[in-house]
Amino acid sequence: MTEASARHALRASFPARSSFSAHATAVIAVLCAASLVLLEGCGGNNSSTSATGPITVTVSTPSSSVLLGNPQQLTATVTGTSNTAVTWSVNGIAGGNAMVGTTSSAGLYTAPQDLPNPATVTIQATSQANSSVSGSVVLTITSDIGVTVATSPPGMSSVFPAEMVQLLATIKSAGQPDTNVNWAVNGVPNGNSTLGTITSTGAGTALYTVPATAPNPASVTITADCVADSSKSANLVESIQDCKLNGTIGYVAPAPYMPPSGSTCDVSDVNTLNACVAAVRAGTTTKVRFTAMVNCSGNQTCLVDLSNVHGPVAFFGAPGITAGFLRTDSYTYPILSVSGASDLTIANLTFDEGPDDPACTPVQVNGSYTYPCRSTIEIGNQHSSNIALMQLSILHSKDHAIAFSATSGITIQDSQIHAAGVFGIWSGNDQSLISSNVTITNNLIQDVQSNGIFLSFTQNTTIKGNTLKHNHHVALFDSCSGLCPGGQIDMNNNASLQIYSNQIIDGQIDLNNATGQTAGIEIGQQNTDVTITNNEITNNLGPGVGANPGATGTNFRITGNNIYNNGLNLGGLSGTGIQEAGDCFTPQAHQNRSTSVITTAQLPSPRPRAGSRHLGLSWRSQSQ
């Protein structure tokens, strides 16, 4: 064999170079893939990752502090892996809890409502790609809480022995802290029999029961300690005195009326009245000023129809003069009719309905009355809101002075109602037309033939600082086995009602021809969450406060009133669910009483109301 042939034979015994190289590459690739699987298995996660370097987690926050109860968004940034998911924890607790705050899966942290100790938390984000890698941030939980404590109704700084006083602690904060408080009397948690006791009735609310015998000294300090931040509290000092009412009792003449500024549409007669009402309805004016009394003779001559008018719109009398409406005939329409309207103010006007009119005599058919005349002001049928009746004089109405229903936010204030033919103020008898946020304050209601205020189907109502004098002086309704007595204030089917700082005096049925006599306050059916307190109720020939047969009360308290010199001071309360305690039944000369009355004028003849029915007062027991 030659040397050349020997070399050829040696080359033929091995694969070609390119084939060897490809085979080696394939083996190496398989080994590398196996190595990657093994490495990934050591990480404890079956998700696919692509390592580009060490995994890191950082947590960022817009602020290093957060107020109690507030949310704060955290951001977790994960590098070194395509799996950027993290698991959140607070102080080592997955997702946190109510004590340290909570985090959502998206990193939204919500601070606890109560301040933790210490007031810092560590929030950690742990990589789901590698649980040994995490980032964290420390947040400080801060409190800006302010605490106030007051009575409800407000201003009851002097209390009678055995009185029941509603307390209200308010937690103010830009955060969302726990609103509960811990109560104490003179440092004693929840008080005791010597100092009086406190019973919590909800978050920030409680009932303080004054001791039957005043301690020495005769005052106590009530403390509300904030649960959310134990460093914050508020105090309320209560003086315990027999029969000492708080503040001014009854109506006080208001300051002179201040009209709104800006251009006005002026009314001096029927023509200008009609023009201005048309302008309001067209939206070309929002202020109507009366400069004289408008003579309203004739059918619907002075009808002010503000149905579906949305303000702010004001009708008002010019200061320093008597301006408004004088009607001496045609009582078959209301002067002011409001339905489906909002943001209206009627102020400083006189509505004088003139002398009695025989055309208003009711007609009785099968025990029901047809009543041909209408109220002076009617608000209802369709829902209205934010209606203010201020500094009005409503005289000699042939039906009710003010009738309203289906109204949210109505204020009747600083006004005088005199000699209305049926009710002074009436809130309707249709449970589908409930009114809410009703305020009746600082009014003089006098010589109304039936109830001065007949309140039914309302929610969140305040009757405060009014004087009611010689109302229900005629027995209009014959449904009590004879003519019915009644109260100067009557209530049926109301929820959340406060009656306080009123003067309710001189109630009597002049002819004494009914089955009983006039009460100060008459209680009807199904009233819930009612407080009657700090009133002077005197010289009524019937009960000072009395319940009708079948009356019921839930969370209903009569307490801290001065009730004296009535036919009987309390009547018919037994078995009703109404609580009475801590009232004073002897006359006192210390309170700031109103002495404002208007001269008694000739009153219209008795007129029963169509479809109305008084249950009558049957005073089953006499407490005082």
Kindly report, residue by residue over 35-52, the tens digit of the pLDDT: 333 333 333 333 333 345
Confidence of residue 623 (pLDDT cuts 50, 70, 90): very low
Q: Is 166 found in the same domain as 123?
A: no
Tokens of residue 16, six digits = 């070609």
Q: Who's near 516: CB < 8 A, 6+ residues apart?
A: 480, 484, 485, 542, 616, 617, 618, 619
pLDDT of 586 > 50? The answer is: yes
Q: Is 519 found in the same domain as 502?
A: yes
Tell me, what amino acid is at 592? N
The mean pLDDT of 192-198, rounded to a whole number, is: 98
Confidence of residue 370 (pLDDT cuts 50, 70, 90): confident
Q: Is 310 found in the same domain as 373?
A: yes
Rounded to 5°, angle at Cα 273 from 270 and 278:
130
191-192 and 196-202 as β-strands: parallel, antiparallel, unpaired?
Answer: antiparallel
Q: Is 86 found in the same domain as 202?
A: no
Looking at 24-38, 346-360, 477-491, 580-594, which range is the least confident one?
24-38
Nearest-angstrom CA–CA distance, 45 and 39: 11
* Nearest of 239, 320, 284 to residue 276 by alpha carbon: 284
The predicted structure's pLDDT at residue 19: 40
Confidence of residue 613 (pLDDT cuts 50, 70, 90): very low
Q: How many angstroms separate the most distant Cα atoms in the chain?
A: 159
Nearest-angstrom CA–CA distance, 602 and 357: 12
Q: Which residue has the higher pLDDT, 488 or 609?
A: 488
Tell which phi-psi region holds residue 493, choosing left (phi > 0), alpha (psi between -120 and 50) or beta. Answer: left
Q: Tens digit of pLDDT for each residue in 313-344?
A: 999 999 999 999 999 999 999 999 999 999 99
Is-contact 463 250, C-beta < 8 A?
no
- Residue 496's alpha-carbon distances to 177, 527, 578, in angstroms, are 26, 8, 14
Is-contact 413 436, C-beta < 8 A?
no
**Of the residues 189, 209, 242, which one is the last residue of a structural domain?**
242
Is-contact 560 159, C-beta < 8 A?
yes
The predicted structure's pLDDT at residue 368: 75
- Asked if the structure places residue 17 within a domain, the reply is no
The mean pLDDT of 111-133, rounded to a whole number, is: 97
The mean pLDDT of 20-25, rounded to a whole number, is: 36
Tokens of residue 143, six digits = 């409190």
- Asked if the structure places residue 30 within a domain, the reply is no
Q: Is 291 found in the same domain as 201?
A: no
Q: Is 153 found in the same domain as 217?
A: yes
Look up the CATH number of the domain holding residue 150: 2.60.40.10
The predicted structure's pLDDT at residue 590: 47
Tokens of residue 293, six digits = 């009394």
* Nearest of 265, 110, 209, 105 to residue 559 by alpha carbon: 209
Q: Is 323 found in the same domain as 212?
A: no
Radius of gyration of the chain (CA): 38
Look up the CATH number of the domain holding residue 125: 2.60.40.60
pLDDT of 11 > 50? The answer is: no
- Asked if the structure places residue 468 within a domain, the reply is yes
Please tell me the pTM assigned to this model.
Answer: 0.85
Is cis: bond before 362, omega within 30 of 0? no
- Asked if the structure places residue 495 within a domain, the reply is yes
Q: Tens digit of pLDDT for each residue in 453-472?
A: 999 999 999 999 999 999 99
Nearest-angstrom CA–CA distance, 523 and 519: 10
Tell me, what amino acid is at 148? T
Looking at 2-6, 40-44, 234-238, 577-581, which range is the least confident one?
40-44
- Asked if the structure places residue 569 within a domain, the reply is yes
Q: Is 270 found in the same domain as 332?
A: yes
Counted residue by residue, the chain has a size of 624
Nearest-angstrom CA–CA distance, 167 and 156: 10
pLDDT of 8 > 50? The answer is: no
Looking at 53-57, 109-113, 369-373, which range is the least confident one?
369-373
Q: Is 433 found in the same domain as 291?
A: yes
**Of the residues 117, 142, 167, which one is the last residue of a structural domain?**
142
- Residue 470's alpha-carbon distances to 56, 499, 565, in angstroms, are 84, 18, 15
Q: Is 99 found in the same domain as 174?
A: no
Residue 573, CB half-sphere, CA atoms under 13 Å: how many? 20
Tokens of residue 578, six digits = 């109404």
- Asked if the structure places residue 32 within a domain, the reply is no
Looking at 96-110, 235-249, 368-382, 522-536, which range is the least confident one?
368-382
Is-contact 557 523, C-beta < 8 A?
no
In the block, residue with structure tokens 């189907």: 457
Confidence of residue 509 (pLDDT cuts 50, 70, 90): very high
- Asked if the structure places residue 420 within a domain, the reply is yes
Tokens of residue 326, six digits = 């004088």
Average pLDDT, the chain: 88
Tell me, what amino acid is at 374? R
- Residue 517's alpha-carbon distances to 381, 491, 621, in angstroms, are 34, 17, 15
46-81 per-residue burial string, b: 16 or more CB within 10 A, e: under 16: eeeeeeeeebebebebeeeebbbbbebebebebebb
Neighbours of 86 (CB within 10 A): 23
Is-contact 274 299, C-beta < 8 A?
no
Q: Tens digit of pLDDT for each residue in 204-225?
A: 999 999 999 999 999 999 999 9
Q: Is 558 found in the same domain as 445?
A: yes
The predicted structure's pLDDT at residue 301: 95
Tokens of residue 144, six digits = 């800006």
Is-contact 403 394, C-beta < 8 A?
no
In the block, residue with structure tokens 């080994």: 31
Q: Tens digit of pLDDT for each residue in 396-455?
A: 999 999 999 999 999 999 999 999 999 999 999 899 999 999 999 999 999 999 999 999
Look up the CATH number of the domain holding residue 555: 2.160.20.10
Q: What is the DSSP letter of 622?
A: B
- Residue 618's alpha-carbon distances to 337, 526, 572, in angstroms, are 37, 17, 7
Domain range enclosing 214: 146-242
Q: Tens digit of pLDDT for each residue in 163-174?
A: 999 999 999 999
Rounded to 5°, angle at Cα 362 from 361 and 363:
125
Is-contact 185 192, C-beta < 8 A?
yes
- Asked if the structure places residue 610 within a domain, the reply is no
The predicted structure's pLDDT at residue 608: 32
Q: Is 211 found in the same domain as 284?
A: no
Number of structural domains (the chain) is 3
**Of the residues 142, 170, 187, which one is the last residue of a structural domain?**
142
Tokens of residue 100, six digits = 């340290």
Bridge partners of 342? Answer: 310, 385
- Dihedral of the alpha carbons of 595, 599, 604, 610, in degrees to the nearest 10: -20
Tokens of residue 284, six digits = 């070309």
